[in-house]
Amino acid sequence: MGVSRPDLTVTIGDWLLANPIMTASGTFGYGAEFADFVDLNRLGAIVVKGISHKPRIGNPPPRIVETACGMLNAIGLENPGIEKFLTDKLPQLKKYTCGIVVNILGDSLEEYGMLAERLNVAEIAAIEVNISCPNVKKGGVAFGTDAKMIYDVTKCVREKSNKPVIIKLSPNVTDITAMALAAEEGGASAVSLINTILGMAIDIRTRRPKLANKVGGLSGPAVKPIALRMVWQVAQRVKVPVIGIGGINTVEDVVEFLLAGATAIQIGTANLTNPHVAEELVVGLEKYLLENEIASVKSVINGLLT
């Protein structure tokens, strides 16, 4: 029995995505940067670069280093701030039909809450809460590695927002499932993981760290096995949808994350190394389902046999 056109749609809470392929925050700019490489309307959703209350200039250079099958980044969450985003960036995105997810970060519960409230605007499909970026001295790490704080942030954002709330988890923890459960308890509509893993590189000539920030976040194919393991562990414990992130480059990678229990996935570093990858993977996933005569992507999700 062949299938005509496979069903790629997935749902996160009451949000229906055309397909499970999203782009990861900080690796896809504000979307427009990729308009020449990707038909944005083909994507399930775009997650924009993390936004804070006030503008942030980010970390001094150097901000990136290449590592084996990966890269370290210490951008420092450079962003124009919520108001400039709403006035300058968001309007550019209106013309696209794909879901727009805004990634937010704060130094305090109040900032998170205020950002969530400010983003209750029609064009936005969901918000993703970055409690895990390892690059900022205040906030970031502390929130992401403490279950109680994750619960509090989630609860606060949940109360202020009328959108699906995605909590983005940090992998720099002993037990990722405890963090996911805290987010679920706090009212998260979904959890996304993983953010980058804290790493370091040293220039032996200067004897200094290669990053001005000393340490940075590791991403890319190198982290995929760790991300996949965490997604699998979390998917077995929480009822809310899980969004898989980490080293995704190919259709095989996408299918692995879906099988492990991810309802959707995000492409990060691969956007930087292969700018048309996001569209490639939407097309490739549809092809995979067709060739394997799978009528709906939903029957791949959580399909791991153990």
Ligand X SMILES: Cc1cc2nc3c(=O)[nH]c(=O)nc-3n(C[C@H](O)[C@H](O)[C@H](O)COP(=O)(O)O)c2cc1C
* 26 lies in the binding site for ligand X (CB under 6 A): yes
Q: How far is the CB of 225 from another protein (least distance, A)?
A: 12
Task: Considering only the stretches 17-25, 111-119, 158-166, 248-256, report the one whose residues sit in contact with a copy of itself under the rule CB under 8 A.
Answer: 248-256
Among 19, 52, 103, 170, binds ligand X (CB under 6 A): 103
Among 224, 240, 244, 286, binds a copy of itself (CB under 8 A): 224
* 50 lies in the binding site for another protein (CB under 8 A): no
* 68 lies in the binding site for another protein (CB under 8 A): yes
Per-residue three-class SS string for 65-127: EEECCEEEECCCCCECCHHHHHHHHHHHHHCCCCEEEEEECCCCHHHHHHHHHHCCCCCCCEE
* 256 lies in the binding site for a copy of itself (CB under 8 A): yes
Report CA Rg, the chain.
18
Coil/strand/helix, residue 27? coil
Q: Which does 101 bind (CB under 5 to 8 A by kind): a copy of itself, ligand X, another protein, none?
A: none
Task: Considering only the stretches 16-24, 114-122, 183-191, 228-236, report the one whose residues sit in contact with a copy of itself under the rule CB under 8 A.
Answer: 228-236
Q: Which does 57 bind (CB under 5 to 8 A by kind): another protein, ligand X, a copy of itself, none?
A: another protein
Output the CA–CA distances (angstroms, integers) from residue 300 to 17, 79, 190, 296, in the order listed. 16, 37, 18, 8
DSSP 56: B
Cα–chain-centroid distance for residue 124? Answer: 16
Give the sign of the dihedral formed by CA 118, CA 124, CA 127, CA 133. Answer: negative
234 neighbors 191 (Cβ within 8 angstroms): yes
Q: How far is the CB of 2 from ligand X (least distance, A)?
A: 33
* 49 lies in the binding site for another protein (CB under 8 A): yes
Beta bridge partners of 99: 45
Structure tokens at 201: 């590189």
133 belongs to the catalytic site: yes
Task: Considering only the stretches 1-9, 30-38, 75-83, 227-235, report the one whose residues sit in contact with a copy of itself under the rule CB under 8 A.
Answer: 227-235
Residue 93's region, left for phi above 0, alpha for psi from -120 to 50, else beta, is: alpha
Among 59, 189, 196, 233, binds ligand X (CB under 6 A): 196
Q: How far is the CB of 61 from another protein (least distance, A)?
A: 5
Q: How far apart are CA 74 and CA 220, in angstroms?
A: 14
DSSP 39: -
Give kind and range of the element (H or E) at residue 143. Answer: helix 140-144
Site residues for another protein per CB under 8 A:
26-29, 33-34, 36-37, 49, 57-71, 73, 75, 78, 220-222, 249, 269, 271-276
Q: Known catalytic residues? A: 133
Site residues for a copy of itself per CB under 8 A:
67-70, 72, 145, 172-174, 197-202, 204, 206-209, 214-215, 218, 220-226, 228-229, 232, 247, 252, 255-256, 259-260, 303-306
